[in-house]
Chain A
């Protein structure tokens, strides 16, 4: 294969840059395109799940199948848009959005206790029993002032003006993911190697 930028025109690069809200520089987009072509073995225009899993470092990640659902079959523009949440210029809400989507397995806009348990199951595998996981999570939720019936709504937190305020009422307690994470500078950045 010749150098990637001969296949990717300046118009294409600008279009992709626009699509990802300028979170990646043009140079990074060129490098991501090289990577995309490297993974997309028969130039189909998208990377199949199998090709993602041929990267051993990705395949052995406990949350890989969740990310795979979000990234499988994307064309290059959407691929860059997906990865833009991991760029150093991405805002905190964008990073939180990805985390939320990973947790929300049934895509109903709500993260419930069972969703949290499922992700914990992915992270711990067979090294903790279901009972232990439920116990740990219930205990920690209780300590933080929530119950098992609490659920997290994506809409709620983007409506909240003050990201660090906790709003709760007596009949339902809403978890704010930002409050939970309590980390103003959530480190979720990936560096695109620019050779």
Chain B
């Protein structure tokens, strides 16, 4: 009666204890005798389930700001209309022209450099880096990006990776205009994919495919090779694995934290005053998202380059990842939630439910032993 059945499934040591964040459903009074009521009272569990239906922290992470209408009245409405006319009729064409100009300059310099300087690798790489930084600056200008960088600029040193919180693909562009990072990204279709396979490839970027499970080992190997390489561009990783709405951070994947090198956190916080820079990839394509940015007044954000962190002795990569997530969340004023970003695409693993069942079963059996 007192022997607890060991579960056949092994405990998933892969993630921090989610029970620390979620309300526990086990029996309250651990010294009282077990009564029929304790066993039959399912109200806490039902309350949790109903609570999850009414509001849950995971869905909140991916909520975009609803467009707030102004208080229309006689003078504000015409002013707003004027604003629309200026944004779509004046700013947007200007920005489109600037961006096109930027692309023309970039492409006309990039291809010659790429093909003609095949032999002189060092010079070619330096020029390519400069050109990528240039085109990213053009992008940022096309949204009138007001970016404040705080902290020491990333330096090109071996054995270091950069991690940042993720709100949209423009995070990459904003960071790239300052330093030519090599980034690890999901392979996208369309014109983005084309850019990925041509230009970004030359920077040393790594691609992965979320839907392939075998992919993880291949990517881990590529990461290791890149970091240990002598002349590679500094590697930028977004450990959340998905875009979050810049009010919360989801759990960091440990891949970036078990490479045995220094991790330099970067915190990015967007000011939503003019536009919500969160790219809700289920609601809009990247093109629509860019167009939305180009027809707003400005994109305002702060970027903090934070102090490099190392794995402390006795710390697991997961604890290290959580510690860095803490540093970034505090700096950018984001709330932490205990969910895996990939739950956007897949159901939660049954192991999480098993944890709850196990804690309840254990407390029942523990009570019985006290007879």
Q: How far is the CA of A137 from the CA of B354 in the complex (A)?
A: 21
Contact partners of A102 in chain B: CB under 8 A: 42, 46
Contact partners of B44 in chain A: CB under 8 A: 187
Q: How far is the CA of A62 from the CA of B24 in the complex (A)?
A: 12
Pair B46/A98 contact, Cβ less than 8 Å: yes
Pair A193/B55 contact, Cβ less than 8 Å: yes
Pair A127/B7 contact, Cβ less than 8 Å: yes
What is the distance, in angstroms, from A157's C-beta to the closest C-beta of chain B?
14
From the candidates B1, B46, B357, name the one contacting A125 in the complex (CB within 8 A).
B357
B48 interfacial by beta-carbon distance below 8 Å: yes
- In the complex, what residue of chain A is closest to B35 when comparing beta carbons? A140
Chief secondary structure at chain A's binding surface: helix
Most buried by A among B9, B52, B66: B52
Pair A86/B47 contact, Cβ less than 8 Å: yes
- In the complex, what residue of chain A is closest to B7 when comparing beta carbons? A126
Pair A38/B42 contact, Cβ less than 8 Å: no
Given contacts A128-B5, A187-B47, contact A137 B39 (CB under 8 A): yes
Pair A190/B59 contact, Cβ less than 8 Å: no
- In the complex, what residue of chain A is closest to B364 when comparing beta carbons? A136
Pair A189/B66 contact, Cβ less than 8 Å: no
A43 interfacial by beta-carbon distance below 8 Å: no
The stretch among B127-135, B172-180, B217-225, B345-353 that forms the contact with chain A is B345-353
Contact partners of B354 in chain A: CB under 8 A: 125-127
Q: How far is the CA of A61 from the CA of B44 in the complex (A)?
A: 11
From the candidates A2, A63, A181, name the one contacting B46 in the complex (CB within 8 A).
A63
Per-position binary interface string of chain B over residues 331-371, scored 1 when its CB falls under 8 Å from any chain A CB and 0 otherwise? 00000000100010001100011101110111011001000
Q: How far is the CA of A38 from the CA of B41 in the complex (A)?
A: 31
Tell me the residues in window 74-107 of chain B with beta carbons closer than 8 Å to chain A beta carbons.
Answer: none
What is the distance, in angstroms, from B349's C-beta to the closest C-beta of chain A?
9
Q: How far is the CA of A135 from the CA of B1 in the complex (A)?
A: 8
Given contacts A55-B58, A86-B50, A99-B42, contact A125 B36 (CB under 8 A): no
Q: How far is the CA of A191 from the CA of B47 in the complex (A)?
A: 10
Q: How far is the CA of A3 from the CA of B45 in the complex (A)?
A: 32
Pair A188/B40 contact, Cβ less than 8 Å: no
Pair B56/A127 contact, Cβ less than 8 Å: no
B272 interfacial by beta-carbon distance below 8 Å: no
Q: How far is the CA of A120 from the CA of B347 in the complex (A)?
A: 24
Q: How far is the CA of A22 from the CA of B42 in the complex (A)?
A: 25
A53 interfacial by beta-carbon distance below 8 Å: yes
A91 interfacial by beta-carbon distance below 8 Å: no
B67 interfacial by beta-carbon distance below 8 Å: yes
B63 interfacial by beta-carbon distance below 8 Å: yes
List 6 A-B residue pairs with CB atoms under 8 Å apart, sorted by A's residue number. A52-B53, A56-B58, A83-B53, A124-B361, A128-B5, A136-B368
Residues of A at under 8 Å CB distance from B?
Answer: 1-3, 32, 35, 38-39, 52-64, 67, 71, 83, 86, 95, 98-99, 102-103, 116, 119-120, 123-129, 132, 135-137, 140-141, 143-144, 146, 177, 180-183, 186-193
Residues of B at under 8 Å CB distance from A?
Answer: 1, 4-5, 7-9, 22, 34-37, 39-59, 63, 66-67, 69, 339, 343, 347-348, 352-354, 356-358, 360-362, 364-365, 368
